[in-house]
Amino acid sequence: MHLSENEGIEGKRFVVTGGFGFVGSALCLELMRRGAEEVRTLDSRNSSPWSADLRQKGVRCILGDVRQRKDVEKALKGVDCVFHLASYGMSSKEMLQSSLVDEVNLNGTCNVLDVCHEFGIKRLVYVSTYNVVFGGKEIINGNESLPYYSIDEHVDPYGRSKSIAEQLVLKSNGRPSKKRSVNLYTCAISPAAIYGPGEERHFPRIISIAKMGLVFFRVGDSSVKTDWVYVDNLVLALILASMGLLDDIPGRKGSPIAAGQAYFISDGSPVNTYDFIIVPLLKSLEYDVPKLVSMSVIHYYCLDFFWLISMLIYPWLKHQWFLVLSSFRLKSSRCFILRILLPWLMSSCSASLKSSGDFFFELCDFIYWVTTQPHGPVA
């Protein structure tokens, strides 16, 4: 089967839910570059770092919420293919809002599926996550044959909701339309950790902490590796997935090659997060690179405890009583406390610590929160 690079794109209409995000905006621009007749975004935000560029390039930006069926209907009416990227609850304080996580990731996905079914849309590409098969235990040379991680054993609502949503999407493959004699074909793309220009989840936190002089340790050793994917590679995978759902390809009419399939997407070479991401970033900014220090399991759980506490009290940060208590110049004091606390927590070693990359970013969340919260009026 040979397809042109713009197969199923030229002259077609597309919707990208969550199109104001890092990946969604890159996908929108690539669809426009390849000759799409119309590209729409459905996003609950009025603007983002990429929204001005999207509008300038002719992308139709629709303000709406995937939790609201009428918003989904408005965005999807008359389109040929949907890329469903909108999600919530991947990290930080969002993880604690379990009801909102379910509303966006489950109810939102159900709305997208139902509207595709009602309008006779033929292609739906769903962006999922590695967490549908990963629950903290090491996976070596894993592939798409891995079973779903048990729903009851997921430690966070994000992984659980994304797993359920992915299974709903794949089970909807081949579903006939209500009004047209066509079928809906679906597939799921599960990307690795994503990096590239404009990345907004990991890099800004690392840089902020480095500026405060708080990056003076590393966790784990170089044998701990994980998958990453460059944003352009992920966008290409999404486009290829949409082509794989075409049902009019000679030799495969009525039987799209990607229909009902789930795919893991990465750069194809697992790397150590510290060596691949953190060290080059710090060196490029001329910050000191921390030397290897070891950490015991007890210290790991201590830091996880602090991270949990920071997330639990976040909703009360803007309450008046907290502003009164915070009416002193505490920022420098908190940085000083961290400079004393963290070296002690990092003082001993355990080879059993495996999730170095995930833990580092959790710790970044905690430090960033502690040192950047508003402190109320200064007397």
Q: Which of 130, 158, 195, 300 is catalytic?
A: 158
Structural contact between residues 62 and 41, judged by C-beta atoms closer than 8 angstroms: yes
Give CA–CA dist 75/115, Å, rounded. 10
Q: How many CA atoms lie within 13 A of 302 on its CB side?
A: 12
Reference 363, options 207, 204, 130, 206; nearest CA is 206
Reference 15, options 84, 65, 64, 110; nearest CA is 84
* Number of other CB atoms surrounding residue 144 within 10 Å: 11
Cα→Cα distances 230→197, 266, 269, Å: 9, 8, 12
Structural contact between residues 241 and 125, judged by C-beta atoms closer than 8 angstroms: yes
Structural contact between residues 356 and 276, judged by C-beta atoms closer than 8 angstroms: no
What DSSP string runs through 63-122? E--TTSHHHHHHHHTT-SEEEE-----SSGGGGG-HHHHHIIIIIHHHHHHHHHHHHT--
Tell me, yes or no, if 158 is annotated catalytic.
yes
Cα→Cα distances 19→65, 70, 172, 212, 246, Å: 12, 18, 23, 33, 22
Cα→Cα distances 211→21, 214, 256, 268, 354, Å: 26, 8, 50, 32, 27
Query: Which residues carry out catalysis?
Result: 158
